[in-house]
Structure 1
């Protein structure tokens, strides 16, 4: 004899009881079919994941939004537990011919089932990523089914709504990790660009100093040559004029090039 003593229904209530049980069986079959479809969809997502695809469901622009969504989901989970909606009493049972004792025991078993399911969910959250999210969601559904099967003889079940929230939690957690990695990559790229730009500016500064020095040197050489023209012979005038033209051409070339032409960072993304 089990822990529960269910009163044998009277003959006149038998048909009603059978009809009620058939209705519950039908409901369970429908729920099982729905879960099978969810598993099939999860397997399809897993297949696509193997080809590098990951379906984002929330698409928040910042990782903080995912964190807020996780907190919201967990608050809803706690509310279901607090209000007694995380578990379901499929059929009230009696303990020692007492309905109240039977109900108290069933509530206690629901608490144990929820605790076990939470443990499974927390373990699956460890090291979750977009690459293993479909497998972990499938494992969560399997844990849900196994626990409900184990506690079915006690006529209790974890609520499908609680499973739905736990699945959302895994999905958001996976996308949260992906978004955090994307933000790290963006920050790293930004730092690399800033480092490259800093090197560019330092090299540009060096080239500017060299440019200014060369311009001053050629300008000074022109002034010296022009001052010599005042006392130069015919032969010297031709030579000095040639030098002046050469220096002016060098200044012109420097002005055309500018100090940045010789900086070796042509590929810098500004």
Structure 2
């Protein structure tokens, strides 16, 4: 049975193999057709596929670039953060260091300023007098008295004191010798500082010299702290008192010199008044002689000659009346010490439009004083607003000064009679109230000043035109 079936099995196997081969051939043909179709499709859609590939490539490259840039930026940011933190730490340290050093600088600058005579006005301070002696000799006597008290304290051993009894090498005698030497050294150092401060004291550094003495006492005591040697408070106060007295003595002596100068000026004016009186009297006598002579000669003439002499006599009588009035005025001013002229003048070119000078003169011609004030000391002449005669000129002058005392330019020297006024109207109102009969001239000529301004403006205009001509009007 088995043998009989073998041919059949072989046939079946052959058939199966043939079928499989046919299937494989069909599959191969189908695959080839599919590949040809795919190749055709790829050829057809090749541009689209190339763009997508480029896009993918660019995306990949962009991703790599962005990732690299982000990594670098992150590293840079971290580095900057680290550097910023380090800089902030350094800045904080610098601020602290600066604050400490500035504190040290301000302390040292304050100490140096005590010894520096070039003090700014803002730091100068205002010195209030400690004494009210009437003359410089009284100050000088008080200075000698204070120096005598200082010598007494030195002799008594209370100028510089040491409350501890030192021993050197077990010897109290050697300790006393050492202490006495240190006391003499301390006394010499303090006296030298005080003498230098007193010698250099002036109106603009008196407060600094006061601090210099106080600082010297503190520093010397600090240096001697280990030795327990100290400057006596009473001795230090006497040194400050000597400083005040010396400064006020110098200021008082300066005032006395100015007063003597003013007295000399008044004496010169008195002498000039007497000379003016003599000249006025001589002039009056001369006109009297001429008038008497003319009258005597007229008695022998008639007609036209007499009329001519009468006209001459009238002129001489008028001149004689003026000379007589001038002589009487000079006589009155020479006899009455309080009579005189109060003048109100201004100098726009020198001091500005809101400054006036209110002064007094006893000269027979007050304009002489105005002209004298406008000499070489100021660049322009003064203009006169009012010249007021008064039997009590000092009282009128004081009243006008009181009206504008708030605007006094020099508050330390009352003889500098310049005032800053709100307006010329206020000055006119004060004059009309205090001296109603006096004339007041509001307008000022200021001729030289205005001519100078005109010349400057003209020169400036020429200069400006010349500069403008250097550039073209259009480009």
Q: Same fold (TM over 0.5)?
A: yes
- Partner Cα distance (2:314, 2:210) in 1: 81
TM-score normalised per structure 1: 0.71
Q: Deviations over 1:40-88 (max 9, x none)?
A: xx9xxx989846x431111111101111111011111111111111111
Change (3 A) 1:263 1:222: farther
Verify the 8 A CA contact 1:87 1:157 in the aligned structure 2: yes
What is residue 169 of structure 1 aligned with on the other side?
Answer: 242
- Partner Cα distance (2:199, 2:310) in 1: 82
What is residue 255 of structure 1 aligned with on the other side?
Answer: 324
Structure with more contact order per residue of length (Cα contacts < 8 Å, sep ≥ 6): 1
Change (3 A) 1:74 1:242: closer
- Partner Cα distance (1:122, 1:54) in 2: 20
Which of 99, 116, 119 in structure 1 is aligned with 2:192? 119
Which of 80, 86, 98 in structure 1 is aligned with 2:153? 80
Structure 1 residue 192 displacement after superposition: 1.9
Change (3 A) 1:156 1:224: same
Change (3 A) 1:189 1:146: same
Verify the 8 A CA contact 1:222 1:247 in the aligned structure 2: no
Which of 251, 273, 283 in structure 2 is aligned with 1:200? 273
What is residue 55 of structure 1 aligned with on the other side?
Answer: 128
- Partner Cα distance (1:157, 1:180) in 2: 36
**3-state SS of paired residue (1:55):** coil
Q: Deviations over 1:119-174 (max 9, x none)?
A: 11111122322321110010111111111111111121111111111110111111
Verify the 8 A CA contact 1:124 1:136 in the aligned structure 2: yes
TM-score normalised per structure 2: 0.42
- Partner Cα distance (2:203, 2:288) in 1: 60
Verify the 8 A CA contact 1:130 1:175 in the aligned structure 2: no
Verify the 8 A CA contact 2:284 2:320 in the aligned structure 1: no
* 1:180 pairs with 2:253: yes
Structure 1 residue 238 displacement after superposition: 6.5
**3-state SS of paired residue (1:258):** helix
* 1:133 pairs with 2:234: no
* 1:264 pairs with 2:365: yes
- Partner Cα distance (1:240, 1:143) in 2: 91
* 1:98 pairs with 2:171: yes
User: Which 5+ residue runs of structure 2 have no aligned equivalent?
Assistant: 1-113, 115-119, 331-362, 370-392, 395-475
Which 10-residue stretch deviates more, 109-118 or 123-132? Answer: 123-132
Which of 152, 171, 174 in structure 1 is aligned with 2:225? 152
What is residue 17 of structure 2 aligned with on the other side?
Answer: none
User: Which 5+ residue runs of structure 1 have no aligned equivalent?
Assistant: 1-41
What is residue 218 of structure 1 aligned with on the other side?
Answer: 291
The equivalences for 1:1-16 within 5 A come to: none
